[in-house]
Amino acid sequence: MSAVQTPPLLELEGVSKGFPGVLALDDVRLDLRHGEVLALVGENGAGKSTLMKLLAGIYTPDAGVFRMNGQELVIDGPRHAQEQGISIIHQEFNLMPDLTVAQNIFIGREKRSAGLFLDDRALNARAQELFDRLGLALDPDEPVERLTVARQQMVEIAKALSFDAKVLIMDEPTAALNDAEVDVLFDLIRRFRSPDTGVIYISHRMEELARISDRISVLRDGRYIDTLETASADQKQVISLMVGRELRSEQRPGPVAASDAPVLSVQGLSTKRLLRDVSFEVHAGEILGFAGLMGAGRTEVARAIVGADRRDGGVITMRGTPVDIQNPADAARLGIGYLSEDRKQLGVLLERSVRENIVLASLRDYVSGLGFVNNRRIEATGKEYVSKLRIKTPSTAQLVRNLSGGNQQKVVIAKWLAKDCDVLIFDEPTRGIDVGAKEEIYALLRQLADQGKAIIMISSELPEVLRLSNRIAIMAEGRLTAVLDNADASPEAVMDYATRFSAEGTIA
């Protein structure tokens, strides 16, 4: 009998789940071995989140079997999943910002006396015990809203592990973390891993998979494609399994002809909080990438330029003329469009149609003298950009909410193109967008630059910066530490400039 292999920690077989009009999961299998980190990858719409929600007990499967250690497992609701040892850390945090750390961790499981009264001191003590066990430096009594994103994630993990989890599922856990924070997270994952636990790790970031995972399972269009050993898999192979086609090899852009005068020039930009004397210029036809660690001030530069944040000093020049930008409306009038990193909050109106979103910044051009909106022209413009940017939508009347992340991003881009902007500032243009759609966004950015737009692209993904930018501006602690030509910018060089902190006595 000893020759018989032990059953995997978690095993899925023949799992299907349909929604009206779509088969989200079609006969999917998956196995998670004891003690491993299994990466689960796939484009948006591949079925990862449906699979997660089945395991979380939010959905029930139409068909299929779950087994844990060989025993069949029926999951009845989120609470039941947790009790069975399956804990999920969702992409959007499920924390109550107004409650303390300990209150969040034990929400729904509070010990009460007389059915009514709570003992927060005991709750804090239990939380502290948990943190000691996990080696987490968290204060149980601190309200969650005062924690950084990284620490909120630690709370999520502590909460998940407080259920005595056997299977930990993480959905894009590093989306909002900087490198140092990612290291802490990975350390936690490694320490969680034991002979009777396992981790399913969902991510779009290929480099991370190589660092943390043992195997990689690929889903595409709701179907299971393949599982690879991470050690022997290469990135291109995984991506081609995900998208079902080989992607053309990367080509790094060279410098643009610097003969013409800059479109946008920034001199000595400073803000009270962070920025110190930031100066750079962008030319027509150029993509200027901004690299740096989280909190280095890249987004702040963009926000200060368009007047979303107050400037404390600095001169902004457009085509040789100094301009006065007090607010984003001024910036838009001058032809500077800012595409926020927070697409859903600050980029699109989710509940409005594609065409309304596209003309939002230029609505005045569609209003007659009497104040009536010309819907026919809006429709025409909407159609024009939907076909130009290949936005996948059944019609321009579709609500933006129903579009995928990549197509929502295209709507935002269309909005600024309709405004006829010469300078486009992209802040994390591919955040939360799947690999195939990323390629399209990259191609679109390149195309816009080739058409003569001046593009600033802020990205936390170094490969993305290196691949797209003609020149790369690197920031650290609110200062610009270098502007490199792409040819001079190795990952090591960029990292070096990104960690040039100013404080005396630290890294020189």
Q: Which residues bind other proteins (CB under 8 A)?
A: 58, 77-79, 82, 90, 93-99, 103, 107-110, 112, 115-118, 135, 137, 143, 146-148, 150-151, 154, 178-184, 186-188, 190, 207-208, 211, 293, 295, 462, 491-492, 494-495, 499, 507
Minimum Å gap between C-beta 377 and other proteins is 35
CA-to-CA separations, 442 to 5, 105, 333, 467, in angstroms, rounded:
46, 40, 26, 9
Which CB sits closer to other proteins, 160 or 425? Answer: 160
Which CB sits closer to other proteins, 98 or 250? Answer: 98
Between CA 24 and CA 17 the distance in angstroms is 6
Residue 59: what residue type?
A: Y
Q: Do residues 15 and 224 make contact, with C-beta atoms less than 8 angstroms apart?
A: no
Q: Do residues 228 and 238 make contact, with C-beta atoms less than 8 angstroms apart?
A: yes
Q: Do residues 390 and 440 make contact, with C-beta atoms less than 8 angstroms apart?
A: yes
Which CB sits closer to other proteins, 97 or 452? Answer: 97
Tokens representing residue 282 in the block: 């962008």
Between CA 470 and CA 280 the distance in angstroms is 14
Tokens representing residue 424 in the block: 């486009």
Minimum Å gap between C-beta 105 and other proteins is 10
Q: Do residues 30 and 224 make contact, with C-beta atoms less than 8 angstroms apart?
A: yes
Between CA 40 and CA 431 the distance in angstroms is 18
Minimum Å gap between C-beta 137 and other proteins is 5
Which CB sits closer to other proteins, 185 or 421? Answer: 185
Helix (H) or strand (E) holding 79, with range, is helix 77-83
Between CA 285 and CA 482 the distance in angstroms is 21
Minimum Å gap between C-beta 272 and other proteins is 12
Which CB sits closer to other proteins, 72 or 492? Answer: 492
For helices 405-418 and 375-388, what crossing angle results, to 10°? 120
For 435, the 3-state DSSP assignment is helix
Which CB sits closer to other proteins, 208 or 221? Answer: 208
Q: Which residues contact 444 (CB under 8 A, 6 or more apart)?
A: 389, 410, 413
Minimum Å gap between C-beta 461 and other proteins is 10
Between CA 477 and CA 454 the distance in angstroms is 25
Q: Kindly report the number of other CB atoms within 10 A of residue 361's CB atom.
A: 21
Minimum Å gap between C-beta 292 and other proteins is 12
Between CA 425 and CA 303 the distance in angstroms is 10
Minimum Å gap between C-beta 150 and other proteins is 4
Minimum Å gap between C-beta 156 and other proteins is 10
Minimum Å gap between C-beta 177 and other proteins is 9
Which CB sits closer to other proteins, 96 or 380? Answer: 96
Which CB sits closer to other proteins, 3 or 508? Answer: 508
- Tell me the sheet residues that pair with 31: 11
Helix (H) or strand (E) holding 232, with range, is none
Which CB sits closer to other proteins, 318 or 489? Answer: 489
Q: Which residues contact 132 (CB under 8 A, 6 or more apart)?
A: none
Which CB sits closer to other proteins, 153 or 396? Answer: 153
Which CB sits closer to other proteins, 392 or 500? Answer: 500
Largest CA distance in the chain: 86
Between CA 457 and CA 113 the distance in angstroms is 56
Minimum Å gap between C-beta 238 and other proteins is 17
CA-to-CA separations, 275 to 304, 317, 339, 487, 491, in angstroms, rounded:
9, 18, 20, 27, 24
Write out the E strands in 343-478: 423-427, 454-458, 471-476
Minimum Å gap between C-beta 60 and other proteins is 16
Chain CA centroid to CA 256, Å: 30
Chain CA centroid to CA 45, Å: 16
Tokens representing residue 81 in the block: 């999943």
Minimum Å gap between C-beta 202 and other proteins is 17
Q: Do residues 350 and 399 make contact, with C-beta atoms less than 8 angstroms apart?
A: yes
Which CB sits closer to other proteins, 93 or 366? Answer: 93
Minimum Å gap between C-beta 111 and other proteins is 10
Which CB sits closer to other proteins, 23 or 58? Answer: 58
